[in-house]
Amino acid sequence: MSAYTTRLKLEKQVSGENSGNWGNLVNYVLNRIDSTVRGYVAVSVAGTANVTLVSNNSTTNTSEGADDQVHNKVIEFTGALGAAIHVFTDAVEGDYTLFNNTSGSYALTFANTGHAANGVAITQGSKSIVYTDGSTIFDVGADLGNINVAGIGNQGSTNYFTIPSSDGTSGQALVTNGSKTLSFDSAGITTGKAIAMAMIFG
């Protein structure tokens, strides 16, 4: 009798079985792999109840991800929340890109089945990359910590301003040299210039 892999639930054939049906079963496995690598599914989580994502063996994967939710690379959560909820995935290793596209201003926590306390909150309106060891969900973005950058610019622009590598002193401002290099320096009119202008203009 067929067995299934732990994470993707792919059917493993036993020698001599399913004669004449291997084509279908292999296609179901390929559908499952395709969904896991590149698949997208939108899941309505509207209401007040926790949601457990649908997870089936590959023998039900007659189309690419239509009959299984867990084994998709990208999952978008939709609907109006009436309370804070948990959305549960299988308690196995994996990684996801998640989009919390819900409304209602309630928290949505993504967790492994049986491990609600070890989930991560997916901020409403945001997209998060997460992975799990089977019992704890980790937010990759939260693990990045402080991000060091050497320059800033408009999205899509090839013109960047070089920013200072360290902080200035109290009272200094960020100024430019006219060639897209920023630094901390005294900004505005110096004390000497202010006195001179006062003497001239009263």
pLDDT class of 64 with cuts at 50, 70, 90: low
Q: Which residues pair with 94 in a beta bridge?
A: 132
pTM over 0.75: no
pLDDT in tens, 145-202: 666 666 677 766 667 788 888 888 887 888 888 888 888 887 666 666 666 666 776 5
Within this chain, do residues 64 and 113 fall inside the same structural domain, yes or no? Answer: yes
Q: What is the DSSP letter of 13?
A: P
Residues in the chain: 202
Within this chain, do residues 21 and 83 fall inside the same structural domain, yes or no? Answer: yes
What torsion, rounded to 10 degrees, do the Cα atoms 70, 71, 74, 75 define?
-20
Candidates 86, 87, 41; CA nearest to 61 is: 41
Within this chain, do residues 134 and 165 fall inside the same structural domain, yes or no? Answer: no
Within this chain, do residues 68 and 135 fall inside the same structural domain, yes or no? Answer: yes
Quote the number of domains for the chain.
Answer: 2
Would you say residue 48 has pLDDT above 70? yes
Within this chain, do residues 122 and 176 fall inside the same structural domain, yes or no? Answer: no
Within this chain, do residues 135 and 64 fall inside the same structural domain, yes or no? Answer: yes
Instruction: Of 35-39, 131-135, 136-140, give the lowest mean pLDDT range.
Output: 35-39
Candidates 40, 42, 49; CA nearest to 108 is: 49
Within this chain, do residues 46 and 125 fall inside the same structural domain, yes or no? Answer: yes
Q: What is the pLDDT of residue 194?
A: 60
CA–CA gap between residue 124 and residue 129 (Å, rounded): 14
pLDDT in tens, 78-130: 999 999 999 999 999 999 999 999 999 999 999 999 999 999 999 999 999 99
Higher pLDDT, 131 or 155: 131
Within this chain, do residues 54 and 124 fall inside the same structural domain, yes or no? Answer: yes
What sections of 17-168 are H helices per DSSP? 22-38
